[in-house]
Structure 1
Amino acid sequence: MNLSGEASSGPRVLTARHISADISLPETNNEINSTLLCHSYDLDPDFETYFAALQTYAWVIFACGLAVLLIICALYVITLRSAVKHWRDQMHHVAVVLSIYPIVAASALVMIVVPRSRLPAEAVAQEAVMVALYHFFCLVIAECGGTEQFVRSAGGADLETRVMPCCCWPCCVIPRPKLHKGSLMWLRYLVLQIPIIQGLIYFILIVIWSEDFMLYQGNFVYFQPFIAASILSGMWGVVMCVRAAISVGRAPRPRFLVIQLVLIIVKLQCGLAKSVPNMANLSCVMKLHPGVFASLINNCIMMLEMLLISIWAWRVYSSPPGKDMEKVQRDRVVVAVLEDNMRSIEVKSIKDGIDNKSFNNNVPEI
């Protein structure tokens, strides 16, 4: 067959001789095709494609997210007005600590609306939590009356170093230094490194992400040990400070728990949401990649969690600090009374022993 002649005679479709044009090809597995098509969608879609995939649900999700964010901002203002009655001298620390809830919620809303902004929005949310941890440390020190008053109230007590996350072997060999200015300064540096190290790491990650998304996907795992070491060591310092404050009669644990929950949500929950599409073969929903859909659901849940935690923070910061001070004073009085009673019993027993000895000496031998 002359191929040049066939081509020159007009537009024709040439097929192999063993394939008949009259026989239709069998249909392939539509489920397999849909799975391949679903995973061929972009993991980082543009806004137009993302908005078209959500269809009419887009306006509902965006409007509900904006309403939740406005409620959280209103709660932030209400909490500040309630906290100013009890924290007037430390209001700048309280304002920074409480600001993590609207910041994290706003970052989640940005990720809901624009999926390509996921990494910068995550960096902003996590950096806000790290800065809030340092200000919470400063708030605990100020609540105890400053560094000097904190040391005097401790009365030379030991700093408990065997706390989470260094509470098991081989951390049992960590010594317990005395609570003094040097140890508090060491704790301050240990907490201060969290926002600095996390900021530098996420700056490098954003540069890599902006250069090549696939390069970021392949190298993000190598930064995880540094991120984990920085956060765990900083949390160790905060827990030691909280434990020392409790020993002198303060009650910062409820406020610390409110920040811990946000840290768990931002780090652990978001990490699990990223890992779920890789661990399970998820089906396509609304023509979105499973990773994009999992991120959408996670951000919606995170906004609701920030709303609930904001209500809890309002209850916590509306009450005056140092509620347990009277209890500690009563405990100290009870301990002092017990010690006095024990001393009197010991003195009495010694006197009785002396009297018995003198009586035995005066008894004549038979």
Structure 2
Amino acid sequence: MNASEDYLSMEPSEETSQVLDRQENNTIIMRTHPTVKEYYENMTAFLSLAIFIASLLTILNICIFSTTVSRLSRHLNKALLRPSIIMVGLYPIISLAALVTILVPYSWFICHTVMHVMFMVGGPVFRTLLFRYVNSEQNYVKETGGEAVQLNTPPCCCCCLCLPMVIPTKAKLCISRYMVWQMPFWQGSIMLVMNILYYRDIQLYHQVMYFFIPFIVCSIVLGAWSLQITVRMITKLRGDYQLRKKMFCLQLVVMLCKLQYLVLYDQLDGIKMGGEYPINHTIYKQTIINILILVEMVLVSMMVQSAYRTPIQVQIDEVNKEKEITRI
């Protein structure tokens, strides 16, 4: 009797453990990415249509980029041309990363990292471009004549109300430069470690990923805060250059490719999509998110094209030369 009672008492626990194991296996099957061979052997009509639409959107984005670059090359000198081309080139690269994610789902984390890197690269380049609009940091200090600058700008406008206005000096501009340049080094190191963990030991990645998030958020906030202050500074001298619009386009990289990606990645788990492995729920979810990003990048590229219409530097220089010739 004791043996049978022990057997009966153990049976429910074994059943619950089996149920838990099945649930874990189901979640693993739902979240596992197929190989390239499995992906294309089990291709569905939805994925075929998604690849076709994604390819068209990427080509459209590249065409917008080419048109913008040709316009910039006619209107800007070499000092402004290179950083401007880099800034408008962020968005077709993001589109290519989204397209690769749809074509090769297993590479999604690398492509997501590429999207993240675009903001890390765009921040320092945009700051360089801002001060090239006024020739240099030293020239800015001379032109402003020690005019104070407010520090309560987004994303720290609420918590920095008590900070006094600051007069830009060489040392303070150097601090501002470091606040922006820390992004590629700090976040780049973190993203490199996260990529290694994801593709080497995904269980360890899920255990430690949340510890990296505060460092990434703090780095982004510091960089964006410094850029917003710099935009406000340069706008006083170059108010017709649409600097706030250019900054907004850069911020959209973080909002659409990082925040929106993470929010939708969790929210779409509540909707049943796809079937069993290999074309599972995760494949459908990532495809929908990346199609949305591709559509948004086309719209943002059009906004960027509008924002970088100014300045028209070459024409201004030609007009000045003609005036000098007429004076002589």
Same fold by TM-score, threshold 0.5 exceeded? yes
1:275 aligns with 2:266: yes
Does structure 2 conserve the Cα–Cα contact (< 8 Å) formed by 1:38 and 1:289? no
Aligned counterpart in structure 2 of residue 72 of structure 1, from 37, 45, 61 = 61
Matched residue, 1:189: 178
Matched residue, 2:146: 156
Count residues in correspondence.
287
- Structure-1 separation of matches of 2:286 and 2:257: 12
Letter in structure 1 aligned against 2:234: A
Aligned counterpart in structure 1 of residue 168 of structure 2, from 164, 169, 179 = 179
Aligned counterpart in structure 1 of residue 96 of structure 2, from 106, 111, 131 = 106
1:312 aligns with 2:309: no
Aligned counterpart in structure 2 of residue 44 of structure 1, from 18, 33, 44 = 33
Superposition RMSD in Å:
2.3
Aligned ranges 1:108-257 → 2 under 5 Å: 108-169=98-159, 171-250=160-239, 251=241, 252-257=243-248
The alignment's TM-score, normalised by the length of structure 2, stands at 0.81
**Offset from partner CA, 1:300-325 (integer Å, 9 cap, x none):** 01011111111121122123369xxx
Does structure 2 conserve the Cα–Cα contact (< 8 Å) formed by 1:273 and 1:295? no
Question: Partner of 2:207: helix, strand, or coil?
Answer: helix
Deviates further, 192-201 or 145-154: 145-154
Letter in structure 2 aligned against 1:125: M
Return the index of the structure with the highest Cα Rg. 1
The alignment's TM-score, normalised by the length of structure 1, stands at 0.73
- Structure-2 separation of matches of 1:161 and 1:285: 49
1:289 and 1:220, CA in 2 relative to 1: closer, same or farther beyond 3 A?
A: farther
Does structure 2 conserve the Cα–Cα contact (< 8 Å) formed by 1:39 and 1:289? no
Does structure 2 conserve the Cα–Cα contact (< 8 Å) formed by 1:194 and 1:230? yes
The CA deviation at 1:56 is: 2.8
Matched residue, 1:293: 284
Q: % of aligned pairs identical?
A: 23
The CA deviation at 1:57 is: 3.0
Question: Partner of 1:296: helix, strand, or coil?
Answer: helix
Deviates further, 67-76 or 192-201: 67-76
Structure 2 residue runs without a partner (length 5+)? 1-21, 314-328
- Structure-2 separation of matches of 1:301 and 1:186: 37
Does structure 2 conserve the Cα–Cα contact (< 8 Å) formed by 1:82 and 1:317? no
Deviates further, 214-223 or 40-49: 40-49
Question: Partner of 1:145: helix, strand, or coil?
Answer: coil
**Offset from partner CA, 1:63-110 (integer Å, 9 cap, x none):** 221222122112111101112233323111011111111110011011
Does structure 2 conserve the Cα–Cα contact (< 8 Å) formed by 1:194 and 1:234? yes
1:222 and 1:76, CA in 2 relative to 1: closer, same or farther beyond 3 A?
A: same
- Structure-1 separation of matches of 2:263 and 2:137: 40
Question: Of Structure 1 and Structure 2, which has the larger fraction of its residues in helix?
Answer: 2
1:87 aligns with 2:76: yes
Does structure 1 conserve the Cα–Cα contact (< 8 Å) formed by 2:57 and 2:295? yes
Structure 1 residue runs without a partner (length 5+)? 1-32, 323-366
- Structure-2 separation of matches of 1:321 and 1:133: 23
Matched residue, 2:13: none
The CA deviation at 1:284 is: 3.6
1:321 and 1:159, CA in 2 relative to 1: closer, same or farther beyond 3 A?
A: farther
Aligned counterpart in structure 1 of residue 48 of structure 2, from 56, 59, 62 = 59
Does structure 2 conserve the Cα–Cα contact (< 8 Å) formed by 1:208 and 1:215? yes
Higher relative contact order (CA 8 A, sep 6+): 2
Aligned ranges 1:26-37 → 2 under 5 Å: none
Matched residue, 1:263: 254
